[in-house]
Amino acid sequence: MKNCILGALMLISFWSQAQEHAWVYFTDKPNVQTAINNPSTILSPRAIARKNLHQTTIDARDVPVNETYISSIKNQTGITVKAKSKWFNCVHVLGSIQQINNLTNLSFVQDIVFANDMLNAKSNQNQDEAIFNQKFEVNANYSYGASSNQITMMQVENLHQNDFTGSGMLVAVLDSGFPNVLSNPGFADLNQDNRLLGGYDFVARSTNFADPNSHNHGAKVLSDMVGFLNNQFVGTSPEASFYLFRTEDAYAETPLEETYWVEAAERADSLGVDLINSSLGYYTFDNPDYNYTPQNMDGNTTFITKGANIAVEKGILVVNAAGNTGQDASFPIINAPADGNVLSIGAVDQNGDYASFSSVGPSADGRVKPDVAAQGAGAAIIDPDGSVTFSNGTSFAAPIMTGAIASLWQANPQKTNLEIMQIVRESASRYNNPNTEIGYGIPNFSVALQEVLSIDEHQKNTTIAYPNPTTNNLYLSYASAEANTLRMYNLLGEKVLESKNTKHIDMTPFAKGMYLLHITKGSQEQTLKIIKE
């Protein structure tokens, strides 16, 4: 356990014999161009449609790692492969220093980077041991009940009153565990509407993502987005859909968790996820040799932050808790991956004032961090037993913000992740005068909604589908007389309709939910999100 106290000699002996963490990078991937030319072999239809919608390039990073290389690594003496990353074309291994260094003899190994930077070319890491409670970023007209303050502080109720409740948006939650999410009354609507699409436990390598014995942090985080108890509690995106990924081992702190996080982000991208909520942060580990320094929080140093940056490049809007180190002199800065090109979230109290535990900015390279803030002190949550309670931490400010953004983005899915992030920043209370505590301040989603609904010249030249949402009839208005091919997919990526030049689609036979309508006009492509109510 992390609270065990060992003498100096015992620590030296332990760490000298312990296995090391390292990332082993490969030289190449098989059949890259063939895979890119046939994206359906490596990505789901929804993922392809999302990338087309936002003109996100499908590239070599989307191609899986060479399994032959992985098998060869597994067969090396003393080496254990714990995780892999297609974005970085690498595997995360455990082994002795010598055993890991021996991997350089393999022709397909390009580079090896040890988590303990003292074993690499340079080292400037020297931080205190991790503290368990700092791993996590601590502990329609609705009657919002206990969640009312955190909703109205950002005018999220205005989104809901305009029927923007996250419907059709897909969110991945990366956290420590999700016990009882299949039985918790706070998630009854989520389950009954079949909007919990699945998940995976990367730590245990298990599909049992809702293990009742797992740590409950992720379930609490989820409640702030999609929890619902009539007259008691409403999340900020009560009708969004979710994947749940366990990437955090709550009882140990190792660099392997960074790689689990990147693996989950890659899985989310391949599934066509729109947003990632991550209420996790890293800067110290059980073995202090792996610790990061405040100078490492520059947006492009840690493995997890570089992975988060790629997720953003791929079109995902990544929301990450800023951390709970507050004004701590030993680590006076936000955690990874909140230092990346993500939307990092600080915490305020019920009055909108800075919460003293919330990590401060700027990033090591001088960017405004956190980006914005939401209520994290005295935030309402739903416990795994279904009761409403309150907790503290940027862990809860982040999902409150994620859900609000999911509801906002539903209003105009044509907007890119970067456009939505900037609109949220510009709506915030301190946009013209950001500070180190809450960045650009508390967003105003009434203001953000008006900006999201504004139509630019590009949109005027695209196909319009109406009414959307619809209950039965969907009508299409084309910008040109060119031949149009239409293909519609459900949320699982299954094609449910294909036709040419139709101006009317009867939605009556289709189940309630979100569909992707892919329209091809000559060399031009467009994807619309259609909601069937």
Find out whether 259 and 430 touch, Cβ atoms under 8 Å.
Answer: no
SS3 call for 400: helix
- The distance of Cα 52 from the centroid of its chain, to the nearest Å, equals 20
- The distance of Cα 71 from the centroid of its chain, to the nearest Å, equals 29
Q: What are 336's two structure tokens?
A: 């990874």
- H helix or E strand, kind and range, residue 499: strand 495-500
Angstrom CA distances, 240 to 6, 150, 491, 503, stand at 47, 18, 12, 28
Angstrom CA distances, 397 to 304, 391, 424, 447, stand at 21, 10, 15, 20
Q: What are 479's two structure tokens?
A: 């910008």
Among the listed residues 92, 215, 217, 518, the single catalytic one is: 217
- The DSSP-derived string for 215-241 is -SHHHHHHHHHH-EETTTEE-SSTT-E
Alpha helices in 84-199, H assignment, sequence order: 97-101, 148-152, 156-161, 188-192
Which amino acid would we find at residue 185?
P
Is 458 among the residues known to form the active site?
Answer: no
Count other C-beta atoms under 10 Å from residue 392's C-beta.
20
Strand partners, 112: 24
Q: For residues 247 and 356, what is the distance between their CA atoms, to the nearest angstrom?
A: 28
Find out whether 446 and 376 touch, Cβ atoms under 8 Å.
Answer: no
Angstrom CA distances, 65 to 35, 215, 446, stand at 12, 30, 44
Q: Find out whether the peptide bond into 45 is cis, omega within 30 degrees of 0.
A: no
Among the listed residues 175, 201, 289, 371, the single catalytic one is: 175
Among the listed residues 344, 395, 407, 427, the single catalytic one is: 395
Is 54 among the residues known to form the active site?
Answer: no
Q: For residues 154 and 444, what is the distance between their CA atoms, to the nearest angstrom?
A: 5
Q: Find out whether the peptide bond into 362 is cis, omega within 30 degrees of 0.
A: yes
Is 395 among the residues known to form the active site?
Answer: yes
Exposure class string for 323-335: b at 16+ Cβ within 10 A, else e: bbbbebeebebbb
Of 303, 235, 311, 305, the C-alpha closest to 276 is 311
Place of tokens 């991997």: 103
Q: For residues 142 and 456, what is the distance between their CA atoms, to the nearest angstrom?
A: 32
Compute φ and ψ for 284, nearest 5 degrees. Answer: -130, 155
Find out whether 249 and 82 touch, Cβ atoms under 8 Å.
Answer: no
Just list the catalytic residues.
175, 217, 395
